[in-house]
Chain A
Amino acid sequence: GENVEQHPSTLSVQEGDSAVIKCTYSDSASNYFPWYKQELGKRPQLIIDIRSNVGEKKDQRIAVTLNKTAKHFSLHITETQPEDSAVYFCAAVSGGSYIPTFGRGTSLIVHP
């Protein structure tokens, strides 16, 4: 089955800095890569996703990049704000599967 590795486990930045979270996947047939944000005590919520036929996708201050050859994808957050503090999960979905496999999460802390 699919295996997703996520790094770092904890990321601490100053407000206004950029943050980058990286994930690798094992199944070359994976074709969908969502990112979820989970605030403390809340449910995970989808914030951005990318499909395998696209190399990059942006939505305001967040962007995701995908390198299919290297089997890795990354979440980029620019101009970080305290409200970006949360746990971020990457996930990958193998072709023909209905279910995402999640990474272990990155705790992002943005210091004012």
Chain B
Amino acid sequence: NAGVTQTPKFQVLKTGQSMTLQCAQDMNHEYMSWYRQDPGMGLRLIHYSVGAGITDQGEVPNGYNVSRSTTEDFPLRLLSAAPSQTSVYFCASSDKGPYGYTFGSGTRLTVV
């Protein structure tokens, strides 16, 4: 049982490039979310999903897309990277709504 797996752990992008941050969980959790963590800003919700085929926007969705074609995977796509998207990104999942969210180990993204 690997829990929540995020790849890559580190990434450097040039402004304007696109990429996908991967998130996979093997716990059959219905609920999955993406957060970004910036110094002094806490964890801000980007997008979330309550099941396969269902996604919705969080607090800071601009510049990001998501899809949920399977229960296991919830990738986050950066369409055209900007320096303001330099951050640490965490994926989280739960099988009970907001109760007991499990976080992945994070992806540290730098946009230059």
Interfacial residues, chain A to chain B (CB-CB below 8 A): 1, 6, 9, 32, 34, 42-46, 49, 89, 93, 97-105
Contact = CB atoms under 8 A, between A and B. Distances in A.
Nearest to B6: A43
B97 A44 contact: no
Nearest to B58: A99
Contact of A32 (B40, B98, B103): B98
A76 B44 CA distance: 24
A105 B104 CA distance: 18
B104 A98 contact: no
A6 B41 CA distance: 11
A99 B90 contact: no
Task: Report the contact-size class of chain B (Cβ under 8 Å from the partner).
Answer: 20 to 34
Contact of B90 (A9, A43, A46, A93): A43
Given A9-B40, A98-B31, A43 B105 contact: yes
B46 to A, nearest CB: 11
Given A43-B106, A45-B103, A102 B43 contact: yes
A68 B100 CA distance: 21
Contacts of B50: 98
13 contacts: A6-B42, A34-B101, A43-B104, A43-B106, A44-B103, A46-B101, A98-B97, A99-B33, A99-B58, A100-B98, A100-B101, A104-B40, A105-B40
